[in-house]
Structure 1
Amino acid sequence: MAMTTVPGPQGSVLLGSLRDLRRDPLTTYLDAQRSYGDVVRFTAGPPGLRVNFYALFSAEGAKHLLATEAATFRKDHSFYNETRAIIGNGLLTSQDDEYLRQRRLLQPLFTKKRVNEYDKAMDDETSALMKRWRDAPDGVVDVASEMTGLTLRIVSRALFGADSGAVEETIKQNFPILSTSVVKRGFSPVRVPRGWPTPENRRVAAARRELYRVCDRIIAARNDNHGEDLLSRLSQATTPEGDRLSPTEIRDQVLVFLLAGHETTATSLAFALHLLASHPEIQHQARDEIDAVLGGEPPTAADYDRLPYTTMVVKEAMRLYPAAPIVGRLATADTEVDGHLIPAGANVVCSAWVTHRHPRYWDDPEHFDPQRFTPEHEAARPRYAWIPFGGGPRACIGQHFSMLESVLTLAVMLREYSFDAIDTDPKVHTGITLRSTDPLRCRLTPR
C-alpha cells in the first residue's frame, strides 16, 4: 500500500493548532480523530518556528508506538525532555542500556508476591481515613483532594516504612509547580533556558530543590536500614554481576515512585468514587460483592481476585479518566502507520483519552459501564484499546501495585460509606498526569 500524506487541521494563520492544544489538548485530539481519522498531523507555532507533530489514535497505532516499533520511538519527545530535566533520569525517563539496567534492578521489587506484602499498609491508611471522615463538615468530602493524600500516605508507607509526615505537604506544594512547567514548556515553540533567572525558572528550581531535599533526607535516614520497605530493598538491589544503583539514581527512583506512584492512583480512585456516586445502582452492585467477600474483615491481597466486579469498576474508571492521557515519543526513522508516513525526527503522541473513547472498540463510549471489562469483553477487544498503564517493553512497572491499591482501598471505602455526587460535571486538565480541575465533592452516609 502506498504511503499517503497525513491529514490534519490547519489551525490559525499565526499559531496553527497551538492555542487549542494549550487550552484543551484532550478535546482537540478527540475532535481531530472524529474529523481526520486515526493518524493526524498537527501544526503548531508561529511562522518561522512552526513544527509538525503526529497523533495516533487507534489501538493499532498505540501498539505500533509502544510495542511493535518501540525501538523506533524514543523518549526524546519534548514533554519527556522537560520531565527528565525536572525529576531526573529514573525509570520513567531513562532510555536504552540505562533503562534496561534500571529495570533489571527494580523488577524484583515489583513482583506480585512482593507488592502483595503492602496490603496491610493500604488497609491501615484507608481505615484511618474512614475514621477521619466521620468528622467531615456536613458529611461532605472532596474525593480528589482526599485520594491524593491517601495514595501519598500509602506509597510513603511502602517506600519508607513510615507515614509521609513532611513529605505530603512538600509534594502538595511543589509538584503542581513542576507539572505545570512541563506542560507549558512542552507546548512552547521557544523555551527560555532553565538557567536564566526568570521568575518562573526560579520558582521551578526552588520547587525541585525542595522535593530533592526531602528525598535526600529520607534516604540518609534509612541508609542503614535492612527492612522490607521499597527504599531499603532499592538500596540493597544488586544484579548477578554485582551492579547497584548509585545514590543519585536511588534519589531519582524515589522521586519517580513518590510522584508517579501516588498521582496516577489518586486520579483513578477519585474518579472511580465520583462515577460510583453518580451511578447508585453500580455502587450498590459493587458494595454487595464487597460485603459478600469481606464479611466485615480487612481486605488482603488474597481478596483481590475475589473482587472481580470492583476490579471492573476500577478499570472502567481508568478507561474514562486515564491518569496518563497522552504519551509522546520521537521517531528515529521513517515509519508507516495505517498507510501513512511518519517521518524520522517527528514528535509523535498517542492518546489513551481518545483511544479509550474510540467507537470502533467502545459502544456509547462516554457511558460508565463496568461490564465492558468482563473476561469475554476484554478478550474480544484489541490489547491496546485500553492502555492506562502503557504497554510494550516500557509498560508501567507499578501496574499491580496500582490495581491492588485501587481495589482494596475502594473496597474499604464502599464498605464504610455510601457516596452521593455533589459535583456532577467534572472538568480535567493535563499536567504530568490527569487531574480534576475543580473539587469532586461527595456526600457521605455512614453505613
Structure 2
Amino acid sequence: MTATRVPGPPGLPLIGSLLDLRRDALGTYLAAHRDHGDVVRVQAGPPGLRAELWMVFSPEGAQQVLATEAANFRKDNVFYGEIRESFGNGLLTAQDADYLRQRRLVQPLFTRRRVDQYAGAIGTETAALAARWAAEPGRTVDLGEEMNRFALRTVARILFGQDVEEAVETVHHAFPVLNGFVRDRGFSPLRLPRAWPLPGHRKALAAERALYEVCDGIIARRAAEGRSGDGNGDGGADDLLGLLAAARGEDGERLDATELREQVLIFLLAGHETTATSLTFALHLLGKHPEQQALAHREAAGLLADGRRPTAADYAELPYLTRVLKETMRLFPAAPSIGRRAVAATTVGGVEIPAGADVLVAPYVTHRHPAHWEDPERFDPDRFTPEREAARHRYAWFPFGGGPRACIGQHFSMLESVLSLAVLLRDFEVTAVDHDVPLGQGITLELHGPVRVSLTPR
C-alpha cells in the first residue's frame, strides 16, 4: 500500500481536518481510529500550508516508532520546536549529542535510590494539603486547581528546597500562558514570527521572561553562595537544583547556568502537569466509584493507621493504589499523543510512511484499543494485576512513552502519586460532583472545565 492510498477522514475541502483538530483533537484521534484503522493519514490546513499527519494507533506501531526504530523518528516536529522556543532545549527536547550529554549528567539523579529520597518532600506537601482540606470539612474543591498547585509545590520543593516559595507563584501563573501559546502555534498552519508585537506574543514573552528571571535568580544566588548538591541525601544543599549544579561527567563536564535553567524549566513542566493530571483523575474516578474507593481507603488506612507520613518503603506496600493509578493513566494519560518526524521512509502496520512525515502515536487511543482492552471506557484497576499486565502487549499501555526517550521521571511520578493518594484517601472520603469533564490536547492533557469533588473527613 502506498502513502497516497492510506485511509483518513476527508475533512473540509479547503482546510481538511484543521478545525476538527483545533476543536477536539482527542475526539478526532478516536474517530480516525474507529473509522479508518490503525494507521491513518490526516490532512490539515489550506492549500500551500497543508500539513499531513500520520497517526499510528496499534501497540505494535507505537513500539516501532518509539523503540525498535527510534533512530528514524526524531523530535523535529512543530510542537517540539515551539516547546524549545519557550522552555529551552532541556532533556525533553534535546537531540543527538546535546541529548546524550544531558542524559549522562542527569540520569544519576533519577535512579530509584535517589528518587526515593524525595519522599520527605512529598510527605511535607501532602500533609499541608490534607491539613488545609481538614480545616474546612464538607467543602467542595476543584481537583484540577488543587492538584496542579500541589504537584507544582512538590516538584518546586524538590528542585529548589528552601527557595520553593520564590518560584511557585511565578510558575503557577506563567505556565498556563506559555502552554496555551505553544498549543495554539502547534495547531496553526501559519506561525507568525514571535518577535512581532502582537498581544498574544507580548503576553507569552512576558511569561517567559518572568520564568527565566526567577530561575536565573535562584541559580545565580546559589552560585554566589557556593551552594551545590553533595549528593549524600542528608538535606540542606542536596535539592535537585544543587545536585544538577554539582553533576559532573567523566571528563569533568558540567551544565552551565543556561543549561541549568533549561533543565529546571523542563522538570517543572514535565514534573508537575503530568502528576497533577494523574492525581486529579484518580480522585475523580474514585469519587465516581465508591466500591473501588473503599478498597483503596482500606489499603491506605491499614498501612498508615497511626496517622504517620508515608515513606518510600511504603510504595511497594500499596499495590491496589498502584493499580488505581495505572488504570487512571490508561484512561487519562497526561501525554495523550506523542509526535515524531520520520527521517527515512519506512513501513508501519503494512503502510508506507514517507520520509519527512509527521508521525503521531496516541496513548489516549491505544489505551482504548478494543483488541487489547475489553470494555475500554470502564474503570477497572484490576486490569493491572501482575498476571494481566504480563499477558498484555508492552505498548498497549505507555503513559510515559517508551524506548530510549522514555520519561526519565516515571518512578518519581509514580512515587509521588501513590504516596499522596494514600494520605488523602486515608483522611477523606471523596464524592464526585462533576461526572463528565471536557478535555483538550495541549502540551499535556488539558481540562476544559472543573473537576469538582466534595470532601468528607474520615
TM-score range, shorter chain: over 0.9
Q: How many residues align?
A: 447
Matched, 1:76 2:94: no
Question: Equivalent residue of 2:40, what SS?
Answer: strand
Question: For residue 233 of structure 2, what is the aligned residue in structure 1?
Answer: none
Residue 402 of structure 2 is aligned to residue 380 of structure 1: no
**Aligned residue type for 2:189:** P
Paired residues of 1:185 and 1:191 also in contact (CA < 8 A): yes
Q: Distance in 2 between matches of 1:434 and 1:3?
A: 30
1:146 — aligned with what?
A: 146
Aligned to 1:407: 418
Letter in 2 for 1:341: E
Q: What's the CA shift for 1:143?
A: 1.3
d(CA) in 1 for partners of 2:174 and 2:131? 28
Q: Does 1:395 align with 2:397?
A: no
Q: Contact 1:90–1:249 at 8 Å: present in 2 too? A: yes
**Local SS of the residue matching 1:435:** strand
The amino acid across from 2:288 in the alignment is S
Question: Which of the residues 338, 343, 346 maps onto 1:332?
Answer: 343
The residue type equivalent to 1:21 in the other structure is L
The equivalences for 1:33-432 within 5 A come to 33-136=33-136, 138-162=138-162, 164-223=164-223, 224-226=226-228, 227-296=237-306, 297-432=308-443
What residue in structure 2 maps to residue 15 of structure 1?
15
- AA in 2 matched with 1:253: Q
Question: C-alpha separation between the residues in 2 aligned to 1:4 and 1:50?
Answer: 15
Displacement of 1:45 after TM fit? 0.6
Which secondary structure state, in structure 2, belongs to the residue aligned with residue 222 of structure 1?
helix
* Mean Cα deviation higher: 133-142 or 61-70: 133-142
SS in structure 1 opposite 2:158? helix
Q: CA deviation at 1:162?
A: 2.3
Q: Check whether the contact 2:281–2:328 (CA below 8 A) recurs between aligned residues.
A: yes
1:5–1:341 contact (8 Å) kept in structure 2: no
Superposed CA RMSD:
1.3
**CA positional deviation for 1:136:** 3.4
Structure 2 residue identity aligned to 1:267: T
AA aligned opposite 2:209: R
User: Which deviations, in whole Å up to 9, do the C-alpha atoms of 1:96-150 show, x marking residues without a partner?
Assistant: 1110110010000000000000111111110111111123375111111111111
Unpaired runs of 5+ residues, structure 2, are: 229-236
Instruction: Name the residue aligned to 2:234.
Output: none
Distance 1:51 1:397 in 2: 31
How many percent of aligned residue pairs carry the same amino acid? 59
CA distance in structure 2 between the partners assigned to 1:260 and 1:52 by the alignment: 27
Contact 1:4 1:340 (C-alpha < 8 Å) held by counterparts: no
Give, in whole Å, the separation in 2 of the partners of 1:2 and 1:398. Answer: 39
Which segment is superposed worse, 413-422 or 296-305? 296-305
1:4–1:339 Cα contact (<8 Å) kept: no
TM-score (norm 2): 0.95
CA distance in 1, matches of 2:352, 2:9: 17
Native 8 Å contact 2:2 2:352 kept in 1: no
- CA distance in 2 between counterparts of 1:131 and 1:349 reads 42
Letter in structure 1 aligned against 2:243: R
Superposed displacement of residue 324, structure 1 = 0.5
Once the two structures are superposed, residues 225-246 of structure 1 have per-residue CA deviations (whole angstroms, 9 ceiling, x without a partner) of 1311100000010011111111
Provide the residue aligned with 2:447 in structure 1.
436
Residues 325-351 of structure 1: CA deviation (Å, up to 9, x unaligned): 011011110010011000001111111
Q: Which residue of 2 aligns with 1:446?
A: 457
User: Could you say what secondary structure the match of 1:144 adopts?
Assistant: helix
Give the secondary-structure state (helix, strand or coil) at the position aligned to 1:341. Answer: strand
Of stretches 101-110 and 224-233 in structure 1, the one that deviates more from structure 2 is: 224-233
Contact 1:2 1:339 (8 Å CA) reproduced: no
Shift of 1:2: 8.3
Unaligned runs of 5+ in 1: none
* 1:331-375 Cα distance to aligned partner (Å, 9 max, x none): 110010011000001111111100111111111111110000000
Equivalent position SS for 1:164: helix
Q: 3-state SS of the aligned residue for 2:92? A: coil
Q: Secondary structure at the match of 2:360?
A: strand
